[in-house]
Structure 1
Amino acid sequence: MDTSKAEPGTHRSGAAGEVWLRPPARRGRDSPPLSRDRIVEEAVALLDAEGADRLTMRRLAERLGTGSTTLYWHVKTKDDVLDLALDAIFAEVGIPSGDGRGWRAGVTALIGGWRAVLLRHPWSAALLSRPMLGPNVLARSEFLYATLLEAGVVEPRLTAAAYGLSNYVIGSGLMQATWPAGGQEDVRAAAREHLRANRERYPALASHGPLVVEGDWDAAFALGLSWLLDGIQAGVTGGDGAG
């Protein structure tokens, strides 16, 4: 169903990402006194406080002190709200300036900023499989692709490099965000005991598994990112036709 021509205030079902493919409602004399920006601001606050499972259009309208009809003037579905909220938090990811430090420094700063945002908004990592077509996301994706191109990374390695970096930061953010709060040592102790009891079956994990070896989230992330960048750089300088 084509919802791009729906009249403001008409509630129709839509798909993830669709909000970016239709024009926003035009404000006029009879428009409700509520802005899309205000809706998104309150949606992010609700998501930060309670997570995506607790977000409903009714609860969002209640937090805004308005009715659902007013809310539907600006956003048609919960998917619209999630897409807008995801793009809004990406505005917090700084786009590195060209300071002459090289492509690795730029990519490292971008990916580090992205990780910080995922950790500030722990609901977000699990939703990043959605179509990401908002202006904030696209501006940062453009920087990543342009920086890799300038470094000499070309297809098919360009897409592989960008996906590898994106998947790494999303996976890392999701793992850290869902780690049991306050129960880290209890979980590790149980994991150590389980792997010790099954050492013959899992000898490598019993000695070196991530739930057994104590570590620092930041240091582990930085080391893994460095390894990814080493691989990308090797493909440019020593690969067969990569750059």
Structure 2
Amino acid sequence: MSVWLREDRPRRGTPPLTRDRIVEAAVAFLDEEGYERLTMRRLAERLGTGSTTLYWHVKTKDDVLDLALDAIFGEARIPEHSAEHGSEHNPGRGWREGITALLGEWRAAMLRHPWSAALLNRPLLGPNVLARTEFMHATLKGAGFQGPRLVAAAYALSNYVIGAALMRDGGDEGAERAAADELLRRDRDLYPSLAEHGHPSGNDWDAAFDQGLVYLLDGMAPHATGREA
């Protein structure tokens, strides 16, 4: 059962270890070594405690990963609600601003913690995940998206930002770019468009993300009134 669906076990007195400390240590470990190398024993060693104490708070490695992933979502600030997000009859422009701000925050958080994007196939039931997902769904609903169209819009936006984060989770970008440039110079007859415009590894990822999101939202905008374009 997911850690989010179990009640915390009561403990007498002041516990020597807290869930917050466990999550903080887990995120630091994951940033340094990645999720493949995380074990309960190594996490307990990092916390300076025994495995028995650690298991009192979290039952499995999956618990730790779920908690750490939700903490990463918590770094993505939810946009202020002062902007006009619109309604089904008057979608306005605020919905685009809110979505753009949220996805920018989410991507930035995942880039600070590259391991996080690879774990998003897990059950996402933590309070930070749900709060941000609720904001996105409520904003889209306020713009006029309903039912399956709302689900499709949220799915497209979520997958766009996840893909953008995964594309940046690589090795030495300088070496990769040099190798790609050499390949395209050698085989420019086979890949003339790539040779002209450059391999993706040589582009400005931040600018490409921002412009790509504009294209995506432009495509969604005609449907924001609740009517088909």
Q: Structure 2 length normalisation: TM-score?
A: 0.88
Say whether the 8 Å CA contact 2:76–2:105 is kept in structure 1: yes
Q: 1:32 to 1:238 in 2, by over 3 A?
A: closer
Unaligned runs of 5+ in 1: 5-17
Aligned partner of 2:7 in structure 1 is 23
2:70 is matched with which residue: 75, 87, 110? 87
Unaligned runs of 5+ in 2: 85-93
Alpha-carbon distance, 1:108 to partner = 0.6
Letter in 2 for 1:160: A
Superposition pairs for residues 132-143 of structure 1, below 5 Å?
132-143=124-135
Aligned partner of 2:120 in structure 1 is 128
Say whether the 8 Å CA contact 2:26–2:64 is kept in structure 1: yes
- Does residue 223 of the first structure (1) align with residue 211 of the second (2)? yes
Alpha-carbon distance, 1:218 to partner = 1.2
Alpha-carbon distance, 1:237 to partner = 4.6
- Does residue 208 of the first structure (1) align with residue 197 of the second (2)? yes
Kindly tell me the number of residue pairs found equivalent between the two proteins: 220
Aligned partner of 1:36 in structure 2 is 19
Q: Structure 1 length normalisation: TM-score?
A: 0.83
Say whether the 8 Å CA contact 2:181–2:199 is kept in structure 1: no
Please identify which structure carries the higher helix content: 2
Q: 1:189 to 1:239 in 2, by over 3 A?
A: farther
Show CA shifts across 1:116-159 (max 9, x none). Answer: 10011111111111110000000000000000000011232211
Letter in 1 for 2:6: R
Say whether the 8 Å CA contact 2:114–2:169 is kept in structure 1: yes
SS in 2 for 1:124: helix
Superposition pairs for residues 9-20 of structure 1, below 5 Å?
18-20=2-4
Q: Percent identity of the aligned residues?
A: 65
- Does residue 98 of the first structure (1) align with residue 81 of the second (2)? yes
2:149 is matched with which residue: 153, 157, 160? 157
Alpha-carbon distance, 1:209 to partner = 5.0
Say whether the 8 Å CA contact 2:40–2:51 is kept in structure 1: yes
Paired with 1:33 and 1:188, the residues of 2 have a C-alpha distance of: 49
Alpha-carbon distance, 1:206 to partner = 3.2
- Does residue 56 of the first structure (1) align with residue 45 of the second (2)? no
SS in 2 for 1:123: helix
What RMSD in Å do the two structures reach over aligned CA positions? Answer: 2.0
Paired with 1:141 and 1:237, the residues of 2 have a C-alpha distance of: 21
Aligned partner of 1:116 in structure 2 is 108
SS in 1 for 2:147: coil
